[in-house]
Structure 1
Amino acid sequence: MKPTLQRPVVFKDSLSAPVVSPIMPSVVYASKTPDELDSQYAGEAHGYTYAREGHPNADILAQRIAMMEGMQGGIITGSGMAAVSAALMGLCENGDHVVGGNQLYGRSLRLMSEDLPRYGIETSLADTTNAQAVAEAIKPNTKLVLVEIVSNPTIRIADLDGIAEVCKEKGVLLVVDNTFTTPAALKPVEHGADIVLHSVTKLLAGHADVTLGWVCAKDPALMERMTIYAVTHGLTASPFECWLAERGLATFDLRYQRAQQTAQRLADAFAEMPNVKRVVYPTRQDHPEAARAQSLLQGRGANMVSFEIEGGRAQANAFTEAASELAFAPTLGDVGTTISHPNSSSHRNVPEADRLANGISEGFFRVSVGLEDPDAMIAAFTKGLKAAQEVSE
């Protein structure tokens, strides 16, 4: 992915322009007349009214992410889950049906299993590594299919092209969460996605200091529906966090490339370490969808690695405590490496049988690889794994 150009913001009546976008924290915007205000609400003139309905920093950030994704505009929301909610809740209504991947992020699964049904929206889960399974899950009242290209936290690769073909054939919207993959690895809109979303909190912003989301649809009518939902339900993002995320985008390509290189090396190192049962990384030949990962992602594995160690919770505790140089935290995308344990964080509310069916055991960990020295990182993991092995013995 080619880095986007940082174009200065141009101010009226000024011969020069700031290189860095200014923070514009105003909650309210004044108009001259009721007619002017009407024209803004009617979409006949551009302007701002109330920050919950939009503000300049959100628009700047949304457009810059859209440029990376090959789309136009989009909505900045207060979190990644707010972006998921804007798509699902903003577009679906009582009597509709939604299909989601059975290995979605834990909160997305909870939204599917608990919240949507409360509003009369039927849901089903399907194995998105198999387009036929998704096709069989679609019903006459299915409104949309929600897919993560690389699943969280199991790093499985969805049959995106096959699912897009199924959705097109059946007249169903395809919503793609591109958080793990990022537009550096793949642009979903080029593979048939109708709606693309991100947890901007993660790799795009990249510094673990903002909580934001982004969602965009190709169809302006769908964009309007999602926008109305986001505004009505107050999914607003603050100008300061939008400004921080825009700053993060300036180094995104460099961060992505460095983290990806280290992740590939770390995954190979894990495979040689004692006490590691399995490693899951898209570019490895032992990945369950290795051929698809190569054709779809073109050798780009991104920065997420998952692995499973021998033993249970006692070994997991020993591992994270001993690998103290690396943050044990339920997040990803920071410049620093973080280790996540899905059973105690993102998937703690998923039934144990479902977790185990997807390979998420007590010994299963997800690593968000950062920018540290690779040798120091491998040494820290080796120390942690040795401690876990000693507990086993």
Structure 2
Amino acid sequence: MKKTLQRPVTPLAGVSSPVVPGIMPSVVYASDTPDSLDAQYEGTTQGFTYAREGHPNAEMLARRIDAMEGAENGIVTGSGMAAVAAVLLGLTQTGDHVIGGNGLYGRSLRMMAEDLPRMGVTTTLVDVTRAEAVAEAIRPETRMVMIEVVSNPSLRIADLDGIATVCNEKGVLLVVDNTFTTPSAVKPFEHGADIVLHSVTKLLAGHSDATLGWVAAKDSALNERLRVFAVTTGMTASPFDCWLAERGLATFDLRFTRAQDTAQRLADMLAETPGVTRVLYPTRADHPEAARAQSLLKGRGCNMVSFEIAGGRAAANALTTAAQGIAFAPTLGDVGTTLSHPASSSHRGLTPEGRAALGISEGFFRVSVGLEDPEALLATFADGLAAARAVAG
């Protein structure tokens, strides 16, 4: 009898189907003929060829986030910064000019300040709470403007609608990092954004166990350029991380609402605590852009709170030591509350003068509020703040 080769086949479930999507870690996918392979590359049939170019878990996750953001054919990348790099490096060339918000995430600022100039792309950082500041910075060679709706970590709120109008009039791409706010607070495409990106690692995945990004362009040709750049530079997302993130999305709305409610309570408690010199939370009446927060975010303050204490680094050390049970970690969006000190983490690469210009002192903290019991969380912060006051004197 002639022997034949058989590829392994996953057993079918018969008349039933799995409730939870499977993890598909295969690096390569076999096709029947050269014609069928051509059809996949040309887009006339659906299929996968090589995991760097796409795989089922990334596809499922991308479509879920697409639906949340009102996008089509978004691309999942290996990290949030990979999504940023796909935009800044994949869509610019020598001679271009890029404008960025001066309160962008620290690594995004570094890419603009150090990496783009090496490639002959000039950059300008401006206060994006003022659309006129963006308009004044635009040059004939300006290619794009990149902003966060709510800045990291100062929680200032960009004039999204005003900047979108300016960019549309000038023919400049508007790129919005929607990581902090998420589609639950604002959908940037509905406000005129051309490109939207996320660090999926954060609130969308929500459990600090998956490192991923997502990016989509409204224009299909731009979206294809992003996809090709991501594939060429190997910004591949792990199937396992994609699977974890898709699991996380199932509880995203519940997590967002619970964390947001607690964040509001924490902000109010901090504002009434001796030794706290400043509190930033979008829905508080004392926020610099309180009116815009109500209009743009529809009263959603999200889960991030920033505050400043007296006493400098010594008081900061005392707070993190005494706030037992709160992870001191440079991340956000986890089910557990995390406390970040930008001067020693995300913005440590800036000069003291550069940090001061952004309002980041040695006593400045950013809190990503999680899902703990609110009373217990507030009590823990009270302990930490008491220890900080004792040091500050």
Tell me, in whole angstroms, the C-alpha distance in 1 between the residues paired with 2:14 and 2:289.
Answer: 55
Tell me, in whole angstroms, the C-alpha distance in 2 between the residues paired with 1:351 and 1:49.
Answer: 47
Tell me, in whole angstroms, the C-alpha distance in 1 between the residues paired with 2:55 and 2:353.
Answer: 45
Tell me, in whole angstroms, the C-alpha distance in 2 between the residues paired with 1:202 and 1:73.
Answer: 21
Q: Deviations 1:149-183 (Å, cap 9, x if unpaired)?
A: 00000000000000000000000000000000000
Shift of 1:56: 0.5
Show structure 2 runs of 5+ residues with no match: 1-10
Residue 37 of structure 2 is matched in structure 1 by 37
Task: Establish whether residue 144 from structure 1 lines up as the match of residue 133 from structure 2.
Answer: no
1:249-268 equivalent positions in 2, closer than 5 A: 249-268=249-268
Q: Which amino acid aligns with 1:172?
A: V
Tell me, in whole angstroms, the C-alpha distance in 1 between the residues paired with 2:370 and 2:73.
Answer: 29
User: Structure 1 residues 221, 386: CA separation in 2 closer, same or farther (over 3 Å shift)?
Assistant: same
Shift of 1:284: 0.1
1:221-260 equivalent positions in 2, closer than 5 A: 221-260=221-260
Q: Percent identity?
A: 72
Q: Which amino acid aligns with 2:390?
A: E
Please state whether the residue corresponding to 2:128 is helix, strand or coil: coil
Tell me, in whole angstroms, the C-alpha distance in 2 between the residues paired with 1:150 and 1:226.
Answer: 24
Please state whether the residue corresponding to 1:354 is helix, strand or coil: helix
Shift of 1:13: 10
Please state whether the residue corresponding to 2:308 is helix, strand or coil: strand
Q: Which amino acid aligns with 2:289?
A: E
Residue 365 of structure 1 is matched in structure 2 by 365
Q: Deviations 1:212-234 (Å, cap 9, x if unpaired)?
A: 00000111100111111101111
Task: Establish whether residue 216 from structure 1 lines up as the match of residue 216 from structure 2.
Answer: yes
Tell me, in whole angstroms, the C-alpha distance in 1 between the residues paired with 2:320 and 2:169.
Answer: 47
User: Structure 1 residues 285, 173: CA separation in 2 closer, same or farther (over 3 Å shift)?
Assistant: same
Residue 7 of structure 1 is matched in structure 2 by none
Show structure 1 runs of 5+ residues with no match: 1-10
Residue 67 of structure 1 is matched in structure 2 by 67
Residue 270 of structure 2 is matched in structure 1 by 270
Q: Deviations 1:217-257 (Å, cap 9, x if unpaired)?
A: 11110011111110111100010100000000000000000
User: Structure 1 residues 172, 68: CA separation in 2 closer, same or farther (over 3 Å shift)?
Assistant: same
1:1-393 equivalent positions in 2, closer than 5 A: 15-393=15-393
Q: Deviations 1:314-352 (Å, cap 9, x if unpaired)?
A: 111111011122100000000000000000000000121
In our comparison, the structure showing a higher alpha carbon Rg is 2
CA RMSD, 1 decimal? 1.2
Q: Deviations 1:261-306 (Å, cap 9, x if unpaired)?
A: 0000000000001100010000000000000011000100000000
Q: TM-score, normalised by structure 1?
A: 0.96
Q: Which amino acid aligns with 1:98?
A: V
Tell me, in whole angstroms, the C-alpha distance in 1 between the residues paired with 2:70 and 2:49.
Answer: 28
Q: Which amino acid aligns with 2:305?
A: V
Q: Which amino acid aligns with 2:220?
A: P
**261-270 or 90-99, larger mean C-alpha shift:** 90-99
Q: Deviations 1:41-65 (Å, cap 9, x if unpaired)?
A: 2222221110000001000000000
Tell me, in whole angstroms, the C-alpha distance in 2 between the residues paired with 1:243 and 1:316.
Answer: 37
Q: TM-score, normalised by structure 2?
A: 0.96
**16-25 or 47-56, larger mean C-alpha shift:** 16-25
Shift of 1:16: 3.6
Q: Which amino acid aligns with 1:259?
A: A
Q: Which amino acid aligns with 1:276?
A: V
Q: Which amino acid aligns with 2:318?
A: A
**350-359 or 165-174, larger mean C-alpha shift:** 350-359
Tell me, in whole angstroms, the C-alpha distance in 1 between the residues paired with 2:110 and 2:252.
Answer: 30
Tell me, in whole angstroms, the C-alpha distance in 2 between the residues paired with 1:46 and 1:14.
Answer: 24
Please state whether the residue corresponding to 1:58 is helix, strand or coil: helix
User: Structure 1 residues 206, 23: CA separation in 2 closer, same or farther (over 3 Å shift)?
Assistant: same
Please state whether the residue corresponding to 2:125 is helix, strand or coil: strand
Residue 5 of structure 2 is matched in structure 1 by none
Tell me, in whole angstroms, the C-alpha distance in 2 between the residues paired with 1:161 and 1:303.
Answer: 23
User: Structure 1 residues 12, 118: CA separation in 2 closer, same or farther (over 3 Å shift)?
Assistant: farther
Tell me, in whole angstroms, the C-alpha distance in 1 between the residues paired with 2:358 and 2:327.
Answer: 25
Shift of 1:15: 4.2
